[in-house]
Structure 1
Amino acid sequence: MSALFVFFAVGPTLAADIANGDAQRQTITIMEAGRVSERTLDPGEHADLCQNGCIVAFPDGSQMALSGMESVEIRNGAGHLN
């Protein structure tokens, strides 16, 4: 029974959905928990990121702080909330 309690106490993991709506590959930079990483998305590709919040830098140089529950589309190299 304690295992069941832990399952419900943790709950579902949330993540921001980032989709590349551009016709070319786009690379974003993710700053999360003191780490910096890059992720390249092909046209139409989606990625689930930022489970615990993060800052995402987009190809146009803009940045967006995400809590992990947003839906974002890359258009013209910039991030746009859906």
Structure 2
Amino acid sequence: MNKFAWAALLTIISAQPSFAASVKNDESSAQTIVVTEGSSKTELQVGPGETVEFCNGGCFVTFPNGDREALTGGETVEIKGGKVSIK
């Protein structure tokens, strides 16, 4: 394989973005969110001060306060003061 093809391949591989969403729990107690991906529903417990990645390619999330959101992946979710913010 010539040098150009190798350079192009390495560029494509290194440019792949991460599509997982993450949730950070800034509360003093563990928080549980429910993640639904396709027909699979999972309870994800996030400890105090912990950040966890989930939702690699689109999902619905039910937060501890009952709010439901659709995520595409790549979002950063923060649980703080009983409220959820998505960036």
- What's the TM-score, normalizing by structure 2? 0.77
Taking the TM superposition and a 5 Å limit, the aligned residue runs for 1:3-82 are: 5=9, 8=12, 11-82=16-87
What are the superposed Cα offsets for residues 19-56 of structure 1, whole Å, 9 maximum, x if unpaired? 11111100110001210001101111111111111011
Structure 1, gaps ≥5 residues long: none
How far off is 1:14 after superposition? 1.4
Inter-partner Cα distance in structure 2 for 1:34 and 1:68: 17
Inter-partner Cα distance in structure 1 for 2:52 and 2:44: 9
How far off is 1:77 after superposition? 4.0
Cα-Cα RMSD: 2.5
Contact 2:18 2:74 (8 Å CA) reproduced: no
Secondary structure of the 2:33 match is strand
How far off is 1:17 after superposition? 1.2
**Structure 1 stretches of at least 4 aligned residues deviating more than 6 Å after TM superposition:** none
Identical aligned residues as a percent: 36
Number of paired residues? 82
Inter-partner Cα distance in structure 2 for 1:27 and 1:46: 12
Inter-partner Cα distance in structure 2 for 1:66 and 1:18: 12
Inter-partner Cα distance in structure 2 for 1:41 and 1:29: 11
Inter-partner Cα distance in structure 2 for 1:78 and 1:35: 25
